[in-house]
Structure 1
Amino acid sequence: MQEALLVPEIRPERFLDPSAGTGMFISGLKDIHEVHCFEKDKLTGKILSSLYPESRVTIEGF
């Protein structure tokens, strides 16, 4: 998936991560303005919110 996002013709405007964890996958999505992440675990969700304050983080199941 990350390789596909490196192709110049593929530039999504929004991205949804249904199980974000601490954001290892979204760390490479610098050019996408609207990122919405779901994380079920409360502690991991709080870490994700702190690491990526510009992303929309929902701490509950997808």
Structure 2
Amino acid sequence: MSELEDLKKKAELNYSNFKQRKRELYQYAKENGFSPVEATLLSCKSKGAIDRLIAQR
């Protein structure tokens, strides 16, 4: 397997993991009372940041 193919596979795996984390954070925000729009914005933040916002509510 060539180096380019290896890099492509790693990039695809990284992107897949990134999308999964965003979905999980979106769901976490929605489960904790944020609207779909807010949850979409918060999916770019860390779980700790979402937890701090939950504590402020």
Answer whether TM exceeds 0.5 for this pair. no
Q: Which has the higher contact order (CA 8 A, sep 6+)?
A: 1
The TM-score, its normalising length taken from structure 1, stands at 0.22
Q: Choose 1 or 2 for highest CA Rg.
A: 2
| Structure with more of its chain in strand, by fraction | 1
The TM-score, its normalising length taken from structure 2, stands at 0.23
| Structure with more of its chain in helix, by fraction | 2
